[in-house]
Amino acid sequence: MPQLSLPPVLEELGQFGFSFDLMTAIREFTQEHMTVLSYHGIRIDWLEPVIPAYQHVLEHATEETWLDHKIRVASAEGLILLKLLAFRTQDQLDIENLAAAHRDHLDVAWIQAEWQAILPLDDPRMLRFLEIIR
């Protein structure tokens, strides 16, 4: 989305019940390519697909219905990939929980293929993920 379109889009989201600080959201989205919105207490991470992996996560997402609206929801594999890239403390806990919840159904090869397009498989984050799923 062009940066000039961002303020009106955010203002419209605010009219639909999303909560955020407009200036913070604009700064984060334009500088960090991510911002956090809230919808009636539900956290929404809004990412700009600046690297191919982000776009692949969107393509791998499933369409769900939420509050009578169709939305795209990242798969467990997509969330794990995004969290591996960020790898903050909370992300590491989320990776462990996602791996536990989806242990028998994770497409580890997809995660590794996407990761390898960005970083080597012997990166400490990927090695930690492989430990978690063992």
For the stretch 23-50, pLDDT in tens is 999 999 998 888 999 999 999 988 887 8
Q: d(Cα 91, Cα 30) in Å, to the nearest integer?
A: 22
What band does 64 get if pLDDT is binned at 50, 70 and 90?
very high
- According to DSSP, residue 3 is labeled G
- According to DSSP, residue 40 is labeled T
**Is residue 80 scored above 80 in pLDDT?**
yes
Q: d(Cα 91, Cα 73) in Å, to the nearest integer?
A: 17
pLDDT on residue 67: 84
- According to DSSP, residue 4 is labeled G
Q: The dihedral of CA 20, 45, 120, 51: what is its sign? A: negative
Taking the whole predicted model, whether its pTM rises above 0.85 is answered as no
Judge contact between 20 and 9, C-beta under 8 A: no
Give tens-digit pLDDT for 96-124.
999 999 988 999 999 999 999 999 999 99
- Report in angstroms the alpha-carbon separations of 78 from 10, 27, 45, 129: 25, 25, 13, 13
Say how far residue 66 (Cα) sits from the centre of its chain: 17
Residue range 45-73: mean pLDDT, rounded: 88
Query: Edge-to-edge, what's the strand order for the sheet holding 34-39?
Result: 18-19, 34-39, 42-47
Judge contact between 79 and 94, C-beta under 8 A: yes
Structure tokens belonging to residue 115: 């990761």
**Is residue 84 scored above 90 in pLDDT?**
yes
pLDDT on residue 2: 75
